[in-house]
Amino acid sequence: MAYSLIWLSDVLKDAGLKVAECQGWKTSGVGEMVRVEGVMCHHTATTNKNGNMPSLNTIINGRPDLRGPLSQLGLGRDGTFYIIAAGRCNHAGRGEWNGVSGGNSHFIGIEAENMGTGQEPWPEVQMDAYRRGVAAILKKIGKGVEACAGHKEYAQPAGRKPDPNFDMDAFRAEVGRIMRGENNAVLIPAEECVAVNPRATLRRGIANDAALVKIVQSKVGAVADGFFGPKTEAKVREFQRLHGAVPDGIVGPKTWKLIDSN
């Protein structure tokens, strides 16, 4: 049976963010959420400097000392949100924020990929997605920026957790600007910009250009019928995995570049 946070994917997509849905996410969790009161921000503290979301399997499956999933969302270095679970997750531990305790039952957790030592800069594309994702979720649940907590702010005793290792007050201020419509420009990383004749982004569930879909299908090994359905999406994901791209099933500038070079 699906858990209650099945709206997560659509809310993030509607905010213009890149989304990759993990298999079985709608029925994943350690139980149902009691009542969503806010969002809790984390960093993964990974030791892996390579890859977009090397901590993903750990977040999904847990650690020897803690059952997974460890958060509802993962945020890759390129700004992709990985939808991991629609139920309650083991991300918060003991603590309190604005009078709310029981963080696992009341906060949606976001684990953002970063070493957390101060030696790995936060890419602006990732921070932009972080802020916009939090803003979209807060709007959905009808809460203001005060409902966004850093794990380090929530955890008790004070100092028990260091994540995330950025200024939460400044982060909340930017989230507030987005929620008020004062910062609507979506950042596009330079490597994703196409200077001449950019082609449309293709994805399942929207009105796609049939001719472009056929080009993609012929490259990824799908039936070239011009319809971007679940079978084509699966083939696109397979192609992206094979070529080291984020397997989100969306044909954007990076995937078009791979298609053109193969």
Q: In whole numbers, what is the pLDDT of the chain averaged over residues?
A: 91
| The pairing of beta strand 81-83 with beta strand 19-21 | parallel
How far the first Cα of the chain sits from its last, in Å, is 41
Q: Are residues 9 and 103 in the same domain?
A: yes
Q: Are residues 144 and 225 in the same domain?
A: no
| The pairing of beta strand 66-67 with beta strand 62-63 | antiparallel
Q: Which band of pLDDT confidence, cut at 50, 70 and 90, is reported for residue 137?
A: very high
Provide the CA 239 distance to its chain's centre, in angstroms: 21
The token duo for 120 is 């790995």
The token duo for 93 is 């531990």
Report DSSP state, residue 156.
S
Question: Are the C-beta atoms of residues 82 and 75 closer than 8 Å to each other?
Answer: yes
Instruction: Tell me whether residue 184 is in a domain.
Output: no
- What number of residues does the chain have? 262
Query: Which domain-ending residue is among 133, 150, 179?
Result: 179
**Identity of the highest mean pLDDT range in 97-111, 117-131, 223-237:** 97-111
Q: Distance between CA atoms of 18 and 26, rounded to whole angstroms?
A: 18
Instruction: Tell me whether residue 185 is in a domain.
Output: no
3-state secondary structure of 205: coil
Instruction: Say how many domains are in the chain.
Output: 2
Q: Are residues 208 and 80 in the same domain?
A: no
> pTM score, two decimals?
0.73
Beta-carbon contacts of residue 206 (< 8 Å; ≥ 6 apart): 228
Per the structure, the complete domain to which residue 246 belongs is given by 191-260
Q: Taking residues 107-129, report their average pLDDT.
A: 94
Q: Are residues 174 and 227 in the same domain?
A: no
Q: Distance between CA atoms of 145 and 259, rounded to whole angstroms?
A: 41
Per-residue model confidence (pLDDT) at position 191:
43
Per-residue model confidence (pLDDT) at position 185:
56
pLDDT tens profile 215-250 = 999 999 999 999 999 999 999 999 998 998 888 899
Q: Residue 114's domain is classified under what CATH number?
A: 3.40.80.10
pLDDT tens profile 148-189 = 999 999 999 999 999 999 999 999 999 999 999 987 655 544
**C-alpha pair distances (Å), 34 with each of 70, 94, 158, 179, 223:** 17, 16, 25, 25, 44
| The pairing of beta strand 73-75 with beta strand 81-83 | antiparallel
According to DSSP, the residues that pair with 112 across neighbouring strands are 43, 75
Q: Distance between CA atoms of 216 and 232, rounded to whole angstroms?
A: 9
Q: Residue 206's domain is classified under what CATH number?
A: 1.10.101.10
